[in-house]
Chains A and B, each alone.
Chain A
């Protein structure tokens, strides 16, 4: 029976999702959704996506370069066919209900056409404006513009008299027909070059003229009788010509003569002729400035080639520099600005407030230099309506404004900076190019202090919560600062060191070893020494003594908060937020906002770090799509490709070469025409051209046409970086019907014109060489095919705890089959032993409802008392063997695997635990309170010991993350039963991160005693004998020893992973030394394992609470859906292949492969499964028989490049296809 498409059900929901916020959270959600069959609208208020992560220098705890790991995601989101980016836009309305919403988006005017712009950045380079101007009053419509006349004139003179120059001088000429014989030009000329008599036409003596343009400026606007000849770029505009001349002069002066006016006249021409102000005139002593009419745009100073002009001296008005928001205001930017160098979309926005053209109609220089006509000053904001099924709200956070904590002097003392500012100072692409320099005086500071909890854990400014990330980022910044300059001595002042995440404590240890000093103290005040700019910090140390210490720079570890803008957006979307602005969610459905159909993720859903954000983002993608499962795939745009043309045997090579100008990025240095001509002389090159922008939309279309017209079968593009542009050109080849691997790229911008701007000839030779090597390589290119194979649309879940069950239920709702394998008889895992969640909810009804959903779902097969004993195959097509209770095995076919093997409470034999009744764990204690409240209320004295068997080398050397909250929660519960009970909590650091800080505060308010100890210096003395417990501890707050005799000693023992060694070996997935599985990437792939198609969720990954586990289970299902939602999967064409004829079965490749992929097959030769190969080429290099090849990177490719390197003609062995 065939299905009639007409009878197919129309989906009830809309297969599209709107994501609000384009930070790492929004990007991850977008990719997961778009890769699992949904259309995505990604709405971002700033000009580009990337969010806070793009601003960071490095990320903890791996010190990965933040931009390096986020930029591939930026590119992927930017290029994804099913993600529509709506940047510089805002959501203004949301109507409808879950499944079928209509959202209204306000797209603010960008003034640059996103479709036309190639992101070359020329506009930003030529834009002369650097300030927010005081624009003169504009005439009413129809009225003529009044000429500004200065009343307050100042003379700007330098240390030396002006030295007139004729470097790159322009030539001026009098248009005799236009000349009104007024003599203004004659009077203006300071070199006696203009001759004029009353009632006679002026004339310019070219021999005397220095090209300062004073005559040109002086000639009244209504006549315009003086014209310019011989000025490069004047055909574009005067502004462009001034920019070009300024650059030429700078180049010729080579930085000499700084600060001495050379009377080039560019400032006056800029002010009068481009900006239409006329505040500047050249006089014999220097420059005369009309202080009252100056609009303070900064254009004169920005074109001055000798840095003679200083804007504040030119005017009586306030200077308002235009600060770069991306660099946290540490440097200035232009009104037309690309948000940051790696921005996606790499399209500038024109700032309405500061752009001269938009405000007065003058200037307009950027438009004249744009080679693709992308700039359009007539843009207006537009409203757009989109139909969507769900919404993900992930607006992210901003940092706390430390001006509210005046005692630290931020805003007053220049050398007090925020942590995010410091992050920009560390960044190689930041305002100081990665040198740690004080903003006050550019001095390299040695002693730097970090002050923690500025705007966190602070009731006085309504920031009662812990920001969760500051302890780690401060440690990272201190660590990296020392990496930049090893003479830096960092000190971190903290309350509790909250390094509660996976591998965080190890990082702190490393930081300490790397001479980062930690001082447990709250800094009370900062004083500046006005002479040196150094800063004195005052604090009370752990012994209660007053201390004062001088630092050269202070970094405030500012907390994170929800911005007012995000709060307004939340209101627009009609979702509930708490008193701090964070989303209100339920502990058992952590990603669901109060309004059905809206989901939240990232730091808006409570303070969190990047991996947790990424995890929540995937989780939100899952939650947002599960209710739209019936509409999956209905709104996708599929690419229709022509049949790939198969080359005839012996078909001659026909190579096409495209040498890009990149506006003037390349062409201003490299002679692209010469490179193109040279290309034509190379063997087999049948066509070569040099487009202005090779990557612009029309140019890419053009390439397709040229491929067909000239019957090209290989293409070389000499342009920018392959890491950003290669995918674009490769898909262009494929769209033109030729194999996309018949391509190579030479990077003549980043690696040539940008590095050698002062050596154009050598740069041109280098560009030729790079291009020649690419031509040689492409001559050797082989067509590669990307394997496609079927996907088995079911999931194997190993472990039936909360993580496994949640994942099973969600995957089934997504429409996938699920096998749930649990070792025990009963589902539920560790939560079977727990009573209440951190937010006070009872686990029992939750757990039984979850079990019911699992057992009643016909798509889920539950196999209890069973274990997975073997797995083979690869992503999309695994086969596993499951040992069933009968002792037999059962074969299961599935497309993906999810490990949710969980963890249990650690029970060390410490202080008589497992032996005496009055020594219990936190879990035991909780059970006792719930099961026998009468008995519990009789206890009058409880001591809790934190880190009992955690964070030490003898037991667990990691932090279990949940114990501090558990202790606080149980203390509060006991206080509910018996407010008079005395509870003492002995702790090292109270790690009540995020909003649980509120509970910690509540516990302190209710009289729970928190006594800190240092295990090395002041470990409490505890003795137990079965009858009594005696505790002797030093309480630093009263600086005395206290003796306690509690009814119960409660140990916070931490959690350990379940036995998973065999499973890990069988699945070939790595675990860390503590037995937790290692994620594929600590930051950006938190639930993926290194082997494709295998994922994890819950405590198998690391200690976490139930809410976090549920979020992660959702995340894992989202990642699974990106595989299972496809009928077929496509693999990269670049993989290693063993050619069996020469294989000696020496096992070298088997040993060398870092992923353990090569195997010896039944034919007794090595075999590499292309679906598993990662394409690194290590085996290729190691193989002694040289019988392994890696597509695109074969010896003959590399040899061809090497041979063509010197241009020494070596006959190539092969020609033709």
Chain B
């Protein structure tokens, strides 16, 4: 939880992937309804910037998405979450996690070998 999505920056979003997230949802107020005037608009542009970084490092831009919701839209939130989760499930685990697992397996094999 953050005071405003405007607090989010690119490095924090990338940190989430580094720490094992397969996908990241950023959820802010409805556009035009930001409690802090324009924080969600700034967040949107930061999320967009992260798209291209994710593309470059081959994680893929589909693993991050920004949603806009009001506090009264619980059902919509659930629908968005389900939609995003199935999108990530289709994509499978993030390459970072795949690589990490691979490395863990290899090191385990090494341990066994020795």
**From residue A615, how far is it (CB to closest CB) to chain B in Å?**
22
**From residue B74, how far is it (CB to closest CB) to chain A in Å?**
6
Q: Which residue of A lies closest to B21 (CB)?
A: A1205
- In the bound complex, do residue A1154 and residue B15 qualify as a contact, i.e. CB atoms below 8 Å apart? no
Contact of B6 among A67, A434, A722, A1178 (CB under 8 A): A1178
In the complex, A1202 has a CB within 8 A of chain B: yes
Instruction: Choose the segment among B31-39, B50-58, B84-92, B105-113 that binds chain A (4+ C-beta atoms closer than 8 Å).
Output: B31-39
In chain B, residues 1-58, which have Cβ atoms closer than 8 Å to a Cβ of chain A?
1-4, 6-9, 11-12, 15-16, 19-21, 33, 35-39, 42, 46
Residues of B within 8 A of A65 (CB): 70-72
- In the bound complex, do residue A1181 and residue B6 qualify as a contact, i.e. CB atoms below 8 Å apart? yes
In the complex, A1152 has a CB within 8 A of chain B: yes
CB within 8 Å for A1205 and B20 given contacts A434-B75, A1177-B4: yes
CB within 8 Å for A1198 and B12 given contacts A1178-B4, A1206-B20: yes
Q: Which residue of B lies closest to A1181 (CB)?
A: B9
Please report the C-alpha to C-alpha distance between residue A525 and residue B13 in the assembled complex, in whole angstroms.
60
Q: Which residue of A lies closest to B81 (CB)?
A: A755
Contact of B75 among A433, A1199, A1208 (CB under 8 A): A433
Please report the C-alpha to C-alpha distance between residue A916 and residue B114 in the assembled complex, in whole angstroms.
108
Please report the C-alpha to C-alpha distance between residue A64 and residue B70 in the assembled complex, in whole angstroms.
9
- In the bound complex, do residue A1178 and residue B42 qualify as a contact, i.e. CB atoms below 8 Å apart? yes
Please report the C-alpha to C-alpha distance between residue A1203 and residue B19 in the assembled complex, in whole angstroms.
6
Contact of A1193 among B3, B16, B71 (CB under 8 A): B3
Please report the C-alpha to C-alpha distance between residue A1154 and residue B34 in the assembled complex, in whole angstroms.
11
Residues of A within 8 A of B42 (CB): 1152, 1178, 1181-1182
In the complex, A912 has a CB within 8 A of chain B: no
Q: Which residue of B lies closest to A1206 (CB)?
A: B20
- In the bound complex, do residue A428 and residue B73 qualify as a contact, i.e. CB atoms below 8 Å apart? yes
CB within 8 Å for A68 and B71 given contacts A1154-B39, A1176-B36, A1199-B12: yes
Residues of A within 8 A of B71 (CB): 65, 68
Contact of A722 among B1, B7, B72 (CB under 8 A): B1
Q: Which residue of B lies closest to A1192 (CB)?
A: B3
**From residue B41, how far is it (CB to closest CB) to chain A in Å?**
10
Interface size on A, residues (CB 8 A): 33
Q: Which residue of B lies closest to A1210 (CB)?
A: B19
In the complex, A981 has a CB within 8 A of chain B: no
**From residue B82, how far is it (CB to closest CB) to chain A in Å?**
11
**From residue B95, how far is it (CB to closest CB) to chain A in Å?**
15
- In the bound complex, do residue A68 and residue B21 qualify as a contact, i.e. CB atoms below 8 Å apart? no
In the complex, A1190 has a CB within 8 A of chain B: yes
In the complex, A1134 has a CB within 8 A of chain B: yes
Contact of A1208 among B1, B2, B19, B74 (CB under 8 A): B19
Produce 1/0 per residue, A1190-1217, CB < 8 A to B.
1001010011001101101010000000
In the complex, A1175 has a CB within 8 A of chain B: yes
Residue in A67, A1155, A1177, A1203 with the greatest tally of chain B CB atoms within 10 Å: A1177
Residues of B within 8 A of A1181 (CB): 6-9, 42, 46
- In the bound complex, do residue B36 and residue A1178 qualify as a contact, i.e. CB atoms below 8 Å apart? yes
CB within 8 Å for A1202 and B72 given contacts A1154-B38, A1193-B7: no
Interface size on B, residues (CB 8 A): 30
- In the bound complex, do residue A1176 and residue B72 qualify as a contact, i.e. CB atoms below 8 Å apart? no
Residues of B within 8 A of A1190 (CB): 3, 7
Residues of A within 8 A of B11 (CB): 1195
In chain B, residues 54-79, which have Cβ atoms closer than 8 Å to a Cβ of chain A?
70-75, 78
Please report the C-alpha to C-alpha distance between residue A1155 and residue B72 in the assembled complex, in whole angstroms.
26
- In the bound complex, do residue B75 and residue A1177 qualify as a contact, i.e. CB atoms below 8 Å apart? no
- In the bound complex, do residue B72 and residue A428 qualify as a contact, i.e. CB atoms below 8 Å apart? yes
Please report the C-alpha to C-alpha distance between residue A449 and residue B33 in the assembled complex, in whole angstroms.
29
In the complex, A884 has a CB within 8 A of chain B: no
Please report the C-alpha to C-alpha distance between residue A329 and residue B2 in the assembled complex, in whole angstroms.
39
Please report the C-alpha to C-alpha distance between residue A1203 and residue B15 in the assembled complex, in whole angstroms.
8
- In the bound complex, do residue B36 and residue A1174 qualify as a contact, i.e. CB atoms below 8 Å apart? yes
**From residue B84, how far is it (CB to closest CB) to chain A in Å?**
15
Please report the C-alpha to C-alpha distance between residue A1177 and residue B34 in the assembled complex, in whole angstroms.
13
Residues of B within 8 A of A433 (CB): 75
Please report the C-alpha to C-alpha distance between residue A1182 and residue B9 in the assembled complex, in whole angstroms.
7
Please report the C-alpha to C-alpha distance between residue A989 and residue B42 in the assembled complex, in whole angstroms.
43
Q: Which residue of B lies closest to A1207 (CB)?
A: B20
**From residue B100, how far is it (CB to closest CB) to chain A in Å?**
8
In the complex, A1180 has a CB within 8 A of chain B: yes
Please report the C-alpha to C-alpha distance between residue A1193 and residue B11 in the assembled complex, in whole angstroms.
14
Residues of B within 8 A of A67 (CB): 72
- In the bound complex, do residue A1154 and residue B37 qualify as a contact, i.e. CB atoms below 8 Å apart? yes
- In the bound complex, do residue B70 and residue A1202 qualify as a contact, i.e. CB atoms below 8 Å apart? no
**From residue A535, how far is it (CB to closest CB) to chain B in Å?**
29
- In the bound complex, do residue A1205 and residue B19 qualify as a contact, i.e. CB atoms below 8 Å apart? yes
Please report the C-alpha to C-alpha distance between residue A1154 and residue B36 in the assembled complex, in whole angstroms.
7
**From residue A1178, how far is it (CB to closest CB) to chain B in Å?**
4
Residues of A within 8 A of B72 (CB): 65, 67-68, 428-429
Please report the C-alpha to C-alpha distance between residue A634 and residue B46 in the assembled complex, in whole angstroms.
53
Contact of B2 among A1155, A1182, A1193, A1202 (CB under 8 A): A1193
- In the bound complex, do residue A68 and residue B70 qualify as a contact, i.e. CB atoms below 8 Å apart? yes
Please report the C-alpha to C-alpha distance between residue A1199 and residue B8 in the assembled complex, in whole angstroms.
11
**From residue B36, how far is it (CB to closest CB) to chain A in Å?**
4
Residues of A within 8 A of B37 (CB): 1154-1155
Produce 1/0 per residue, A1170-1188, CB < 8 A to B.
0000111110111000000
Q: Which residue of B lies closest to A427 (CB)?
A: B72
**From residue B52, how far is it (CB to closest CB) to chain A in Å?**
18
- In the bound complex, do residue B7 and residue A1176 qualify as a contact, i.e. CB atoms below 8 Å apart? yes
CB within 8 Å for A1177 and B73 given contacts A1154-B36, A1195-B12, A1202-B12: no
Q: Which residue of A lies closest to B73 (CB)?
A: A428
**Could you pull out 27 A-B pairs where Cβ atoms are within 8 angstroms?**
A65-B71, A65-B72, A68-B70, A433-B75, A434-B75, A1154-B37, A1176-B6, A1177-B4, A1178-B4, A1178-B6, A1178-B7, A1178-B38, A1180-B9, A1181-B9, A1181-B46, A1182-B9, A1190-B3, A1195-B12, A1198-B12, A1198-B15, A1199-B12, A1202-B15, A1202-B16, A1202-B19, A1202-B21, A1205-B21, A1206-B19
Given A722-B1, A1205-B16, 9 more pairs with CB closer than 8 A: A64-B33, A1154-B38, A1176-B4, A1178-B39, A1180-B9, A1181-B42, A1193-B7, A1202-B12, A1210-B19
